[in-house]
């Protein structure tokens, strides 16, 4: 940078007339950038004369964004003062994390992530719609399904591998799309891409990613399979461009989100004003001031979604891609039958992680209804069926497969393991899930995930919404109740 900057010098520039800030050991003079900053001047002025490294990382910016934007002229010099309280807090958190091999279940990552993520990031990731009944029900519903194990089955060798839309996977599990990966970790979605490759599972790239499509595609290994999740834009030209980018980049399936004509009311998130960097797909809207930032992350990143999307639009989507189309967000048997009759390649039984309509049923309960409806219509072999939402144990995966799912999607556990240990955390999380599945298969008396059937389950209580007979203490411990307004 050419010169050094002391603490006293940094702290002398705290106004709109002279605004300096510290990011990862380098001091920047952002005075001339205040008016053009996509996130507005207020966030820069908030950290004027201070260390803004932590909010910079949480915003989702890549470390080299200054150079990428041609703003190296803003560099004042290298910082030589004492570490700020923010830097000390980050260092303390990193040191205080237990060794990775101490993580023995998926709730461990969630418990730690609550203390590592910024309040804004935690509330965005963890929040559900309204009273968060469906958010909690997604996991609770699995506790109303019990196994009917078989004995004297040769389980010396257990097969966990399967295929998803013809794509081989070491597990009947895919990493589903989740927004704003860089709120969890500076590498964001690129770390998820790499972890998926190492574990031999498929990652569904999100429309609302922190990273750009070229960044995500650039992180994949040669021949690595990826899917793409799509929110349909008001502007069909933008949607078509995204679809073509994904297909040219090697994505093998298009998952169209159909449960979100608009994003739900997530009150934990709504209590924040979104001051961080938005999604790559909305960058032009953000620069033109068309992004609502006063009601949390959700409202800020979702205003482009088209609420007019309907069954007739499937013909247009099919006309612009040769990727198989999957509808993500089916919530009843009737719509599953309709989807099959429209010739889609698959559906996901999902309520968007409990983040849309509160009191929507859990994905696992919907799955049971969907499979019954498809069998009744003779359509059970016309498409693949998946489920997501609330999966925290290997036995949850096995229950879904036995009910008829081809594979399951994992979302929040990926973000929580990413936030705490980066790429290695995601890999550890999937390894735990793999081990739980292997043990579960042996104890159920089944040696191949493709041989799991409904006869291995007792589902008499699945549709009874009174809750499990025994409380789930791990889930109860990590759940953070909704806050209420304070004086």
Residues labelled as active-site residues: 231, 259, 352
Question: How far is CA 348 from each of CA 119, 122, 235, 377, 385, rounded to the nearest angstrom?
Answer: 30, 26, 25, 18, 6
Rounded to a whole number of angstroms, the distance between the first and last alpha carbons of the chain is 47
What contacts 338, CB < 8 A, 6 or more positions away? 311
Query: With contact defined as beta carbons under 8 Å apart, do 363 and 139 qualify?
Result: no
* Distance (Å, whole) CA 120 – CA 270: 10
Tell me the three state secondary structure of residue 126.
helix
List, in sequence order, every beta strand (DSSP E) within 195-250.
202-205, 226-230
Q: Give CA angle at 48 (186, 295), nearest 5°.
A: 60
Q: What is the rounded distance in angstroms from the CA atom of residue 211 to the CA atom of residue 303?
A: 19
Exposure string over 113-147, b if 16+ CB within 10 A, otherwise e: bbebbbebbbbbbbbbbbebbbbbbbbbbbbbbeb
Greatest Cα pair distance in the chain: 78
Helix (H) or strand (E) holding 174: strand 173-175
**Among residues 339, 401, 342, which one has the least CA distance to residue 367?**
401
Q: How far apart, in whole angstroms, are the C-alpha atoms of residue 77 and residue 57?
A: 20
Q: Of 108, 86, 91, whose CA–CA distance to 22 is shortest?
A: 86
Cα-Cα-Cα-Cα dihedral of 221, 227, 232, 238, to 10°? 30
Query: Which DSSP letter does residue 183 get?
Result: G
**Nearest C-alpha neighbor of 350 from the set 334, 365, 340, 339:** 365
* 264 class by beta-carbon count within 10 Å (0-12 exposed, 13-18 middle, 19+ buried): buried
Q: Are strands 325-330 and 384-388 parallel, antiparallel or unpaired?
A: unpaired
Q: Quote the CA–CA distance of 167 and 290 in Å, as a whole number.
A: 39
């Amino acid at each position: 940078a050419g010169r050094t900057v002391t603490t006293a010098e940094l702290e002398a520039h705290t106004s709109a007339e002279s605004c300096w800030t510290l990011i990862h050991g380098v001091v920047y003079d952002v005075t001339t950038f205040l008016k053009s900053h996509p996130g507005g001047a207020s966030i820069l002025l908030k950290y004027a004369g201070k260390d803004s490294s932590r909010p910079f990382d949480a915003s989702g910016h890549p470390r080299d964004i200054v150079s990428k934007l041609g703003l190296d002229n803003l560099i004042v010099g290298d910082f030589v003062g004492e570490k700020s309280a923010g830097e000390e807090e980050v260092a303390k958190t990193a040191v205080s994390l237990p060794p990775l091999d101490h993580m023995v279940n998926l709730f461990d990552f969630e418990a730690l992530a609550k203390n590592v993520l910024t309040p804004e990031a935690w509330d965005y990731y963890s929040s559900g719609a309204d009273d968060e009944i469906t958010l909690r029900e997604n996991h609770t519903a699995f506790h109303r399904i019990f196994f009917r194990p078989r004995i004297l089955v040769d389980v010396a060798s257990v097969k966990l591998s399967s295929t998803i839309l013809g794509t081989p996977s070491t597990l009947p599990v895919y990493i589903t799309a989740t927004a704003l990966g860089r709120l969890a970790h500076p590498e964001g979605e690129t770390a998820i891409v790499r972890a998926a490759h190492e574990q031999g599972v498929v990652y569904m790239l999100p429309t609302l990613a922190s990273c750009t499509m070229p960044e995500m595609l650039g992180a994949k290994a040669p021949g690595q399979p990826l899917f793409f999740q799509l929110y349909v834009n008001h502007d069909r030209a933008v949607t078509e461009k995204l679809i073509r980018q994904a297909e040219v980049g090697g994505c093998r399936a298009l998952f169209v989100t159909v449960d979100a004509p608009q994003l739900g009311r997530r009150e934990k998130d709504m209590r924040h004003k979104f001051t961080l960097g938005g999604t790559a797909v909305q960058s032009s809207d953000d620069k033109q001031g068309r992004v609502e930032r006063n009601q949390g992350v959700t409202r800020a990143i979702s205003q482009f979604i088209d609420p007019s999307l309907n069954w007739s639009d499937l013909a247009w989507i099919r006309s612009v891609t040769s990727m198989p189309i999957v509808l993500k967000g089916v919530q009843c048997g009737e719509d599953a039958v309709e989807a099959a009759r429209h010739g889609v390649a698959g559906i996901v039984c999902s309520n968007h992680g409990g983040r849309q309509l509160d009191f929507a049923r859990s994905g696992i309960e919907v799955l049971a209804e969907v499979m019954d409806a498809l069998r009744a219509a003779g359509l059970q072999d016309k498409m693949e069926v998946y489920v997501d939402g609330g999966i925290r144990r290997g036995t949850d995966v096995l229950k879904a497969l036995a009910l008829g799912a081809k594979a399951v999607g994992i979302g929040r556990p990926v973000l929580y393991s990413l936030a705490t240990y980066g790429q290695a955390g995601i890999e550890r999380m999937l390894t735990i899930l793999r081990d739980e599945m292997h043990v579960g298969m042996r104890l159920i008396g089944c040696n191949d995930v493709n041989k799991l059937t409904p006869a291995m389950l007792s589902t008499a209580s699945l549709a009874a919404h009174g809750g499990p007979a025994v409380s789930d203490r791990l889930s109860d411990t990590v759940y953070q109740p909704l806050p209420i307004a304070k004086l």
